[in-house]
């Protein structure tokens, strides 16, 4: 193995080890930190971000990278160096001062967002959002782009993706979604979803969610689950320390059940990354779209399937013996797959969920272009929401204040959720070819072969390939909306008797 390569990898590992401390501090802020700790946390996050960035873009790192690029390397080493070059080139264009300012602004903005959401007062959050948008525009200008500034931000989360391609994909998906919704409206055999709104005590939900995590093969010796305002997954020290959170609503059980399974999907990906490549690109996920494919796969393809609940519905009935005594597993399956426009993205059904993403994509793209200012977001949100989903949020907490992403500066992240849905459906299609007994495995609660398939084809690959390339390598087809539409149409047809 080349000495030049070894020296580069040693330096990259030290930089990423430093960055992992920021992940721990971020987790602590969302889960444990007292409210008044935000001032000190802002300074801590800014310092770590600045130190990591300076070390990454230094002349020493550049020299080590150039030497490694000139060395004789095997395929995996070449992939690592390629991705380090990509990260280096992007980050070298961004001043360290701007990186620190982003870290400070995000740490403050998250607290401001949480208070504004609690008080249902968007005006409290508007100045923080205005500043964040201005900073992200500066990032886009520094990084550079061919067509529009949103490209530079999207590329951070879904490398090599282009806004115009996302726009085309979403337009096709939107039209087919609208057509299927019109068909559903004419259905006479509609499921009753009211059983989901009965009283489900939080403590019993917590026990049930832990049982489901065990069923899905979440490794508690390498992870933990906590509660936060907005569910998330973070990795502190590679596959050995993966943490997820969820939230509980006593009058709507899907929030915790499917939120937990969603974050578990993220965690399974992180717990399956190759430990031998820890703190290098080969030990990291390929893209956020691919990451979301794992969360959406376990939440929906598994967690909203009849096969899964044939094996585990009794756990729900046992947890809430006086709540669901009159509901069969078929009724439960119909309820959790009921299609209806709703206000909250993370609680949306599989079909209308993507319309929530289209909304956010269009709004943040407009903000980055300068076509929409932060103060006008609530009105624009409600107008687009009514156009896409036919309903208007009753307040901003159920509208434009529901997601934490903009406060964190994750502009360009939202499209990856829908890409995740598309990737997941395409992977499921291939998985069922490779495992003809797929549904029987799920019914028997034998999920390890399914996880092993994902481990081999997705998790262990790290960042060896681009996400779109990896999907094509696995399935033999380029990414398209067809597998998702086939999947969701088949499920909805069963539920609605179409």
Model confidence over 452-490: pLDDT tens digits?
A: 999 999 999 999 999 999 999 999 999 999 999 999 999
Q: What are phi and psi of 130, to 5 degrees?
A: -60, -45
Q: How far apart are CA 438 and CA 248, in angstroms?
A: 31
Dihedral angle over CA of 376, 378, 380, 382, nearest 10 = -160
User: The whole model's pTM is what?
Assistant: 0.96
Contacts of 309 (CB under 8 A, 6+ apart): 329, 332, 333, 336
Return the CATH number of the domain spanning residue range 163-496.
Answer: 1.10.1370.30
Per-chain mean pLDDT for the chain:
96
Terminal CA-CA length for the chain: 60
> In residues, how long is the chain?
498
**In the predicted structure, residue 1 carries a pLDDT above the cut 80:** no
Confidence of residue 188 (pLDDT cuts 50, 70, 90): confident
Q: How far apart are CA 149 and CA 136, in angstroms?
A: 9
Report residue 148 as tokens: 């529009």
Catalytic: 263? Answer: yes
Q: What percent of the chain has pLDDT over 70?
A: 100
Contacts of 472 (CB under 8 A, 6+ apart): 478, 479
**In the predicted structure, residue 498 carries a pLDDT above the cut 90:** no
How much is the average pLDDT of 389-396?
97
**In the predicted structure, residue 451 carries a pLDDT above the cut 90:** yes
Residue with tokens 């598309």: 422
Contacts of 412 (CB under 8 A, 6+ apart): 150, 153, 154, 155, 156, 157, 158, 364
Q: Please give the C-alpha separations between residue 428 and each of 37, 370, 436, in angstroms, as whole numbers.
A: 44, 39, 11
- Identify whether the C-beta of residue 258 lies closer than 8 Å to the C-beta of residue 209: no
Q: What are phi and psi of 234, to 5 degrees?
A: -140, 150
- Residue span(s) of the chain under CATH 1.10.1370.30 come to 163-496
Confidence of residue 2 (pLDDT cuts 50, 70, 90): confident
Q: What percent of the chain has pLDDT over 90?
A: 97
Confidence of residue 45 (pLDDT cuts 50, 70, 90): very high
Comparing CA positions, the residue from 447, 374, 455, 368 lying closest to residue 412 is 368
Q: Which of 263, 292, 299, 364 is catalytic?
A: 263
What is the per-residue pLDDT across 354-386, written as a single tens digit (0 to 9) for each?
A: 999 999 999 999 999 999 999 999 999 999 999
Q: How far apart are CA 64 and CA 74, in angstroms?
A: 17
Q: How many helices (H) and strands (E) does the chain have?
A: 20, 3
Q: How far apart are CA 50 and CA 47, in angstroms?
A: 5
Exposure on the CB side of residue 144, measured as CA atoms within 13 A: 6
């Amino acid at each position: 193995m080349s000495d030049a390569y070894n020296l580069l990898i040693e330096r990259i590992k030290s930089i990423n080890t430093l960055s992992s401390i920021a992940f721990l501090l971020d987790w602590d802020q969302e889960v444990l930190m007292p409210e008044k700790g935000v001032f000190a946390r802002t300074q801590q996050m800014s310092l770590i971000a600045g130190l990591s960035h300076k070390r990454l873009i230094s002349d020493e790192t550049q020299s080590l990278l150039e030497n490694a690029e000139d060395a004789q390397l095997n395929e995996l080493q070449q992939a690592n160096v390629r991705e380090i070059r990509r990260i280096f080139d992007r980050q070298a264009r961004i001043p360290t001062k701007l990186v620190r300012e982003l870290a400070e602004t995000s740490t403050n903005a998250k607290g401001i967002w949480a208070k504004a959401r609690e008080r249902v007062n968007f005006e409290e959050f508007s100045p923080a959002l205005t500043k964040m948008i201005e900073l992200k525009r500066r990032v886009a200008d520094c990084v550079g782009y061919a067509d529009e500034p949103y490209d530079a931000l999207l590329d951070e989360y879904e490398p090599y993706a282009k806004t115009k391609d996302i726009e085309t994909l979403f337009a096709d998906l939107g039209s087919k979604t609208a057509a299927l919704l019109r068909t559903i409206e004419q259905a006479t055999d509609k499921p009753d979803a009211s059983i989901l709104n009965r009283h489900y005590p939080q403590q019993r939900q917590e026990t049930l969610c832990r049982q489901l995590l065990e069923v899905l093969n979440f490794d508690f010796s390498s992870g933990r689950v906590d509660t936060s305002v907005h569910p998330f997954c973070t990795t502190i020290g590679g596959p050995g320390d993966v943490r997820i959170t969820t939230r509980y609503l006593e009058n709507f059980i899907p929030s915790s059940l499917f939120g937990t399974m969603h974050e578990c999907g993220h965690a399974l990906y992180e717990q399956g990354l190759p430990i031998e490549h820890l703190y290098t690109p080969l030990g990291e996920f390929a893209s956020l779209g691919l990451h979301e494919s794992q969360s959406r796969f376990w939440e929906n393809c598994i967690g909203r399937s009849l096969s899964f609940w044939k094996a585990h519905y009794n756990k729900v009935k046992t947890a809430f013996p006086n709540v669901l005594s009159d509901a069969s597993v078929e009724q439960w399956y119909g309820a959790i797959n009921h299609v209806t426009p709703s206000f909250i993205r993370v609680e949306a059904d599989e079909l209308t969920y993507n319309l929530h993403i289209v909304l956010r994509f269009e709004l943040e793209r407009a903000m980055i272009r300068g076509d929409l200012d932060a103060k006008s977001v609530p009105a624009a949100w409600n107008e687009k929401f009514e156009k896409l989903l036919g309903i208007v949020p009753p307040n901003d907490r159920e509208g434009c204040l529901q997601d934490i992403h903009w406060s964190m500066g994750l502009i360009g992240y939202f499209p990856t959720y829908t890409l995740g849905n598309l990737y997941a459906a395409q992977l499921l299609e291939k998985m069922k070819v490779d495992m003809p007994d797929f549904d029987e495995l799920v019914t028997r609660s034998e999920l390890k072969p399914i996880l092993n398939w994902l481990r081999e084809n997705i998790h262990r690959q790290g960042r060896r390939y681009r996400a779109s390339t990896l999907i094509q390598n696995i399935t033999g087809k380029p990414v398209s909306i067809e597998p998702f539409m086939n999947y969701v149409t088949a499920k909805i047809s069963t539920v609605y008797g179409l």
